[in-house]
Amino acid sequence: MIHSGNVRAPDEELAMHYAREFYGRRQESHRLWVVARDAITELDDPDLLNPPFDRSFKRPGGYLIKHKLEAAKARANAPAGTEGSE
Amino acid sequence: MNDFAHRLPDATREALAELLLAIADDEFVIGFWDSEWTGIAPMLEEDVATSSISQDEIGHARALYELLAELTGQDADEIAFGRRPEAYRHAALMNHPRTDWAFTVARRYLYETADAVRLEALARSSHEPLAQLAAKMRREERYHLMHLDTWLRRLAGSDAARERLAAALRMLWADALAVFSPVPDEELLVRGGELPEPMATLRSRWLEQVSPVLAGLGLPGPTSDDLTVAADDGRTRRTDAFRWLHGEFTMVAASERGATW
């Protein structure tokens, strides 16, 4: 389920029609879910979403693997029988 | 001309060409009228919806003009843009200008419901390319019908809007019935199954479906005068409003005849 965007409509029926026009008329959708704004449970607490510590390690980009990758490639290309010689 | 066209007797082919032209022009002209709402529809979302539905209709017109072009050996663009206003064959319903939103909803509701009855019949046409195209169009027209049905019920729910809808319907009924004006030599098409049922039969079916819906919303059906108005010129009468629209939609094509894009 991906959030495609918002529409403004006076009722559910027109909201569905407009969702179809905005997010389905170019055949880019297989299914659409339309939910009224007041039926959405919102989480916007910054302590829960953006805590103050460094969280870069939670993201793939937070790891520097360049050197590890180079070492792994070197090992893979090394002649047979020389693994583990470092 | 393709194989299907070759198999038809000349007179039948000519009648079929008239039928295709009538339907194509209906779709083409209503598509252009309602595209006039682009930028000024009642709200942004409806602006996109109306524009998109209008584009769909022009897409249907294009497919129909191409079918006609195959049948007669003409060029589809030339049929669409190369004729004088008097040579268009849309129903008188499409002679009226865009007017206000209630008028647009009233006209579109009448047209979409009539078109649905017509397409249901054409999907059974013995002319296989037409049957296939009608079946394809029906899948897209389903949404048009849903959308217009929603708007009709919505506007009928408030006194001021219902009064405007009713006034538009009273003005439009006689011209809406022209959607089912018989095409020239229609009996040949009914005999050959290209048009599976006479227009008069389709007209009755449409009225049976639509009248109770409108009555239930407190909206007027056709008067006895509307029903007896001569249908012979229902697809040949043209108005200044249409001549203006024709000037608009042929403007670019007329600036350089035969240009390719």
- State how far residue A15 is from chain B, nearest Cα, in angstroms: 9
Whether the per-residue pLDDT at A85 is higher than 50: the answer is no
Q: What is the reported pLDDT for A52? A: 83
Torsion over CA of B228, B232, B235 and B240, rounded to 10 degrees? -80
Question: Cα separation of A63 and A58, whole Å?
Answer: 9
Q: What is the reported pLDDT for A86? A: 45
What secondary structure does DSSP assign to A66-79, as a single string?
Answer: HHHHHHHHHHHHSP
Interface test with B, best of A14, A23, A28, A34 (most B CBs within 10 A): A14
Whether the per-residue pLDDT at B219 is higher than 80: the answer is yes
Q: What is the mean pLDDT of residues A45-62?
A: 83
- Which residues of A, range 10-39, sit inside 8 Å of B by Cβ? 10, 13-14, 17-18, 20-22, 25
Q: What is the reported pLDDT for B238? A: 95
Whether the per-residue pLDDT at A34 is higher than 70: the answer is yes
pLDDT tens sequence across B140-174: 999 999 999 999 999 999 999 999 999 999 999 99
Cβ–Cβ contacts within 10 Å for residue B258, how many?
9
Contacting A with CB below 8 Å, chain B residues are 43-46, 48-49, 52, 143, 146-147, 150, 154
Cβ–Cβ contacts within 10 Å for residue B130, how many?
24
Domains of chain B are 3-219+235-255 (1.20.1260.10)
Q: What is the reported pLDDT for A63? A: 77
Chain A residues within 8 A of B46 when measuring between CB atoms: 18
Closest alpha carbon within chain A to B50: A21
What secondary structure does DSSP assign to chain B, as a single string?
Answer: --HHHHHS-HHHHHHHHHHHHHHHHHHHHHHHHHHTTTTTSSSHHHHHHHHHHHHHHHHHHHHHHHHHHHHHT--HHHHHHSS-GGG----GGGGS----HHHHHHHHHHHHHHHHHHHHHHTT-SSHHHHHHHHHHHHHHHHHHHHHHHHHHHHHTSHHHHHHHHHHHHHHHHHHGGGGPPPTTHHHHHHHTSSSS-HHHHHHHHHHHHHHHHHHTT-----HHHHHS--TTTTT---HHHHHHHHHHTHHHHHSTT---
Across A55-64, A76-85, B102-111, B224-233, the highest mean pLDDT is recorded for B102-111
CB contact under 8 A, A17 and B44: no
What does the domain layout of chain A look like in residue ranges? 12-77
Q: What is the reported pLDDT for B124? A: 98
Q: What is the reported pLDDT for A16? A: 95
Picking from A8, A13, A18, the nearest residue to B49 by CB comes out as A18
Query: Is ipTM beyond 0.90?
Result: no
Whether the per-residue pLDDT at B232 is higher than 90: the answer is no
Question: Cα separation of B231 and A59, whole Å?
Answer: 72
- State how far residue A7 is from chain B, nearest Cα, in angstroms: 7
Q: What is the mean pLDDT of chain B?
A: 95
Picking from A7, A13, A25, the nearest residue to B45 by CB comes out as A7
